[in-house]
């Protein structure tokens, strides 16, 4: 497979499903084949926008033939409506999740061709750099790209699209690329869960401890940037972004779409609420529960963190 900046050429505009939009908007006759986000819009995608994110609505002028779930009280610009299928609804996020449930769309890992080498399964199309040490019992999926001089510990599982830089260390029994939980409830209280389609990016010189789980992005990417260190037994959920040279100590949970800046520090057994941003060089004390954004250089501790 040809690699372009760590991505396979055949994955750039990947087709994940095929749904006719006329079942949602009767006068539209095209199909949607992929998910997309406001951060990374694509043509022929299913998307949603909530009222609180209307400052990003301009990105929807750039796409065509999308099914977009839209807040029912908000006006739709004519150009966006002409080029796409707009489904107005009370709760766009719920309808977006129901789209996958109602169309029976899943994105579970598939069995792939590969071979066992020194007790580890390595998929046929996995891309592995030079001087990579893969210990016994590892699983390397076919959408995995590993740079040079990496260490993959015994029992590590790399699932889905995972891009790993040079000099990366992943300790024993860690799972990278597992699904996070992106779900909602319908009017009857039943779960409507969207599959996780995104990837995980570990940049150069990252280290991941043992028994840690890093979830793939829901649509785009979970990213751990150059030089950061994640301790044992942590959970890094979908869409989390961790900056350069930051440390996350054991048993910490960073929930979906939370962010950690550069050279920041999260002490052990801490919890970061979904969507929260922690600034550059900030410090989170042991056992803290972070429910509000943390400014650059701040020190917070306690429950809730102050």
Residues annotated as catalytic (active site), given as ranges = 238
- Give the span between the Cα atoms of 189 and 21, in whole angstroms: 26
CA distances (Å), origin 298, targets 250, 265, 279: 21, 11, 8
Contact 127, 146 (CB under 8 A): yes
CA distances (Å), origin 122, targets 137, 157, 174, 282: 10, 10, 16, 39
- Give the span between the Cα atoms of 222 and 18, in whole angstroms: 25
CB-CB neighbours of 85 under 10 Å: 22
């Amino acid at each position: 497979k040809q690699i372009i900046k760590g991505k396979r050429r055949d994955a750039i505009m990947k087709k994940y499903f095929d749904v006719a939009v006329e079942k949602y908007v009767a006068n539209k006759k095209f199909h949607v084949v992929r998910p997309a986000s406001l951060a990374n819009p694509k043509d022929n995608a299913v998307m949603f926008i909530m009222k609180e994110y209307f400052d990003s609505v301009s990105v929807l002028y750039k796409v065509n033939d999308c099914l977009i779930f839209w807040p029912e009280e908000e006006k739709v610009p004519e150009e966006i409506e002409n080029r796409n299928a707009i489904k107005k609804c009370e709760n766009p996020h719920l309808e977006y999740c129901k789209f996958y449930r109602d169309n029976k769309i899943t994105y579970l890992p598939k069995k792939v061709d590969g071979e066992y080498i020194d007790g580890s399964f390595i998929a046929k199309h996995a891309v592995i750099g030079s001087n990579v040490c893969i210990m016994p019992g590892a699983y390397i999926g076919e959408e995995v790209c590993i740079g040079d001089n990496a260490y993959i510990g015994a029992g590590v599982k790399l699932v889905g699209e995972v891009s790993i830089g040079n000099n990366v260390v992943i300790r024993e029994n860690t799972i990278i690329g597992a699904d996070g939980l992106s779900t909602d409830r319908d009017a009857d209280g039943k779960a409507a869960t969207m599959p996780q389609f995104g990837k995980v990016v570990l940049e150069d010189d990252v280290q991941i401890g043992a028994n840690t789980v890093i979830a793939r992005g829901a649509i785009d990417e979970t990213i751990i940037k150059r030089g950061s260190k994640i301790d044992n037994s942590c959970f890094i959920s979908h869409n989390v972004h961790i900056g350069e040279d930051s440390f996350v100590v054991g048993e910490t949970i960073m929930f979906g779409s939370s962010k950690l800046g550069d050279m920041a520090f999260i002490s052990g057994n801490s919890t970061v609420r979904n969507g929260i941003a922690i600034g550059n060089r900030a410090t989170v004390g042991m056992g803290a529960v972070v429910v509000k954004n943390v400014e650059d250089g701040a020190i917070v501790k306690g429950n809730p963190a102050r």
